[in-house]
Amino acid sequence: MRFSSFALLAAVQILAPCAAGGQSSKEEVGRLLDSRTERLSGIAMDIWDLAELGYQEARSAELLAQELEAHGFEVDRGVAEIPTAFVASYGSGEPVIGILGEYDALPGINQDRVPERRPIEGKAGGHACGHNLFGTASAAAAIAVAEWLEETGSSGTIRFFGTPAEEGGSGKVYMVRAGLFDDVDVVLTWHAGDRNGANPGSNLAVKSAKFRFRGVSAHAAAAPERGRSALDGIEAMNHMTNLLREHVPQETRIHYVITAGGEAPNVIPDFGEVYYYVRHPDPETVREIFDRVVAAAEGAALGTGTSVEFEVMGGSYSRLSVESLQRLMYENLRGIGGVEYDSEEYRFAQIIKETLEPEPILGSEQEVQPFEWQQGYASSDNGDVSWMTPMGSMVAATWVPGTAAHSWQAVAADGMSIGVKGMMVAAKTIAFSALDLLSNPAVLEDVLEEFKERRGFDFRYAPLLGDRDPPLDYRVKPGG
Count Cβ atoms within 10 A of the Cβ of residue 309 and give its class: 0-12 exposed, 13-18 middle, 19 or more buried.
exposed
Q: pLDDT tens digits for 121-167? A: 999 999 999 999 999 999 999 999 999 999 999 999 999 999 999 99
The domains of the chain, with CATH numbers, are: 4-201+318-455 (3.40.630.10), 205-316 (3.30.70.360)
* Predicted confidence (pLDDT) at residue 436 exceeds the cutoff of 60: yes
328 near 443, Cβ under 8 Å? yes
Count Cβ atoms within 10 A of the Cβ of residue 460 and give its class: 0-12 exposed, 13-18 middle, 19 or more buried.
exposed
* Predicted confidence (pLDDT) at residue 293 exceeds the cutoff of 70: yes
Distance in angstroms (rounded) separating the CA atoms of residues 234 and 296: 10
* Predicted confidence (pLDDT) at residue 225 exceeds the cutoff of 70: yes
Confidence class of residue 22 from pLDDT cuts 50, 70 and 90? confident
Please compute the mean of the pLDDT values over residues 297-319 and round it to a whole number: 97
Q: pLDDT tens digits for 173-219? A: 999 999 999 999 999 999 999 999 999 999 999 999 999 999 999 99
Percentage above 90 pLDDT, the chain: 93
Cα–chain center distance at 156: 26
Please compute the mean of the pLDDT values over residues 111-127 and round it to a whole number: 97
Confidence class of residue 281 from pLDDT cuts 50, 70 and 90? very high
Percentage above 70 pLDDT, the chain: 95
Please compute the mean of the pLDDT values over residues 62-81 and round it to a whole number: 98
Distance in angstroms (rounded) separating the CA atoms of residues 305 and 229: 8
- What pLDDT, on the 0 to 100 scale, is given for residue 201? 96
pTM: 0.92
* Predicted confidence (pLDDT) at residue 13 exceeds the cutoff of 70: no
217 near 269, Cβ under 8 Å? yes
- What pLDDT, on the 0 to 100 scale, is given for residue 478? 61
Confidence class of residue 306 from pLDDT cuts 50, 70 and 90? very high
